């Protein structure tokens, strides 16, 4: 028998999910057989797999010790550059990701990632101790393309990770982008609906009508300034699909400047731009002023002006 004391970062999840994280050698088939045999107890009572855990619970599992070995501790990387921090509190960190830094490990094999910098920062600051955790590792809540700069939200606690992920699903994390386009959009302001599909290792596709395998996307844009066949757009995403802004602006015949996948390579080369001029640089949380884990962020917003705006004569 093995006993787990449920700490704050273990609470709020199902008993089966906790055990699979805490004991990576435990086969799923054996775990669920154990639940069917009623050999899992919570606070002395037998429970089903879907029982949610609370802080202070005592979870007992009757299984051989060799399959209940603890998960290997996820050590923080060392000697990575420190991330640029826009904001931090006890629950979250808002980081500014630079261009050419992947959020997570990608096919290019970079040892330096924003996730690694985040974990190293929390470890060195004392906010995260791998040896003290049974099932939780701090994680990033949203992603950006390697060559898109901007805000990424990091969760320091399990409750914050669940809360922010739920808010993102409910479109209550409002993310806005600035980009420069090679060409002028057809309208000064519009909300465009289309249908999107992204197959692995292939560019995203758009359709103006529903098609099998395509999901609806909603992209709102406003032309803030324009000159010399370039436009500065403020873009609000009402859905979040891979490369949504890049593929939608290309479909409007005004691709993001510097985007060699969906854009105009000759214009990009003439301007000397090797990556898309796109920044996730405005962020706010739709939270009530009390009674919410992130109520302290009510009415607050975070923003910066990317350097590419000034480079092309757009001043905000």
Q: Is the pLDDT of residue 31 over 80?
A: yes
pLDDT at 275: 95
- Fold equal for 84-170 and 176-280: yes
pLDDT digits (tens, 9 = 90+) for 66-114: 887 766 666 667 789 999 999 999 999 999 999 999 999 887 767 899 9
Work out the average pLDDT over 289-311: 97
Mapping DSSP to helix (H, G, I), strand (E, B) and coil, where does residue 286 land? coil
Work out the average pLDDT over 139-168: 96
Quickly state the pLDDT bin for 260 (edges 50, 70, 90).
very high
Q: What span, in angstroms and rounded, lies between the C-alpha atoms of 36 and 49?
A: 9
Buried residues in 132-155 as b, exposed as e (16+ CB within 10 A) = ebbbbbbbbbbbbbbbbbbbbbbb
Q: Where are the domains of the chain?
A: 2-67, 84-170, 176-280
Work out the average pLDDT over 183-192: 97
Q: How many CA atoms lie within 13 A of 100 on its CB side?
A: 2
> What CATH number matches the domain at 176-280, 3.30.930.10, 3.40.1410.10, 3.30.2350.10, 3.40.50.261?
3.30.2350.10
The CATH code belonging to domain 84-170 is 3.30.2350.10
> What CATH number matches the domain at 2-67, 3.10.290.10, 3.40.1190.10, 3.40.50.620, 3.40.1390.10?
3.10.290.10
Q: What span, in angstroms and rounded, lies between the C-alpha atoms of 255 and 278?
A: 11
pLDDT at 70: 65
Measured between alpha carbons, how far apart are the two ends of the chain, in Å? 63
pLDDT digits (tens, 9 = 90+) for 105-142: 887 767 899 999 999 999 999 999 988 899 999 999 99
**Cβ neighbours, 10 Å, residue 32:** 12
State the average pLDDT for the chain. Answer: 93
Q: What percent of the chain has pLDDT over 70?
A: 97
């Amino acid at each position: 028998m093995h006993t787990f004391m449920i700490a704050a970062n273990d609470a709020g999840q199902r008993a089966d999910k906790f055990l699979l994280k805490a004991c990576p050698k435990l086969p799923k088939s054996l775990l669920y057989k154990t639940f069917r045999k009623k050999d899992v107890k919570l606070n002395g009572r037998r429970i089903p797999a879907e029982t949610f855990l609370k802080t202070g619970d005592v979870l007992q599992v009757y299984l051989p010790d060799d399959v209940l070995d603890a998960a290997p501790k996820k050590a923080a990387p060392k000697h990575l550059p420190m991330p640029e921090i826009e904001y931090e509190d006890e629950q979250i960190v808002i980081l500014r990701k630079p261009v050419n830094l992947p959020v997570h490990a990608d096919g290019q094999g970079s040892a330096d990632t924003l996730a690694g910098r985040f974990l190293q920062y929390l470890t060195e600051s004392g906010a995260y101790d791998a040896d003290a955790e049974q099932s939780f590792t701090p994680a990033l809540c949203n992603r950006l393309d390697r060559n898109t700069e901007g805000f990424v939200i990091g969760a320091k606690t399990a409750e914050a990770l669940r809360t922010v992920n739920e808010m993102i699903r409910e479109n209550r994390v409002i993310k806005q982008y600035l980009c420069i386009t090679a060409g002028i959009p057809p309208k000064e302001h519009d909300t465009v609906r289309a249908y999107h599909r992204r197959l692995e290792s292939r560019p995203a596709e758009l359709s103006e009508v529903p098609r099998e395998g395509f999901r609806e996307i909603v992209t709102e844009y406003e032309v803030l300034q324009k000159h010399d066949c370039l436009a500065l757009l403020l873009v609000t995403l009402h859905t979040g699909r891979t490369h949504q802004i890049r593929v939608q602006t290309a479909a409007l015949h005004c691709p993001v400047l510097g985007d060699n996948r969906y854009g105009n390579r000759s214009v990009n080369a003439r301007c000397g731009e090797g990556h898309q001029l796109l920044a996730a640089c405005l962020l706010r949380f739709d939270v009530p002023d009390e009674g919410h884990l992130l109520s302290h962020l009510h009415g607050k917003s975070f923003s910066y002006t990317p350097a590419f705006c000034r480079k092309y004569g757009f001043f905000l």
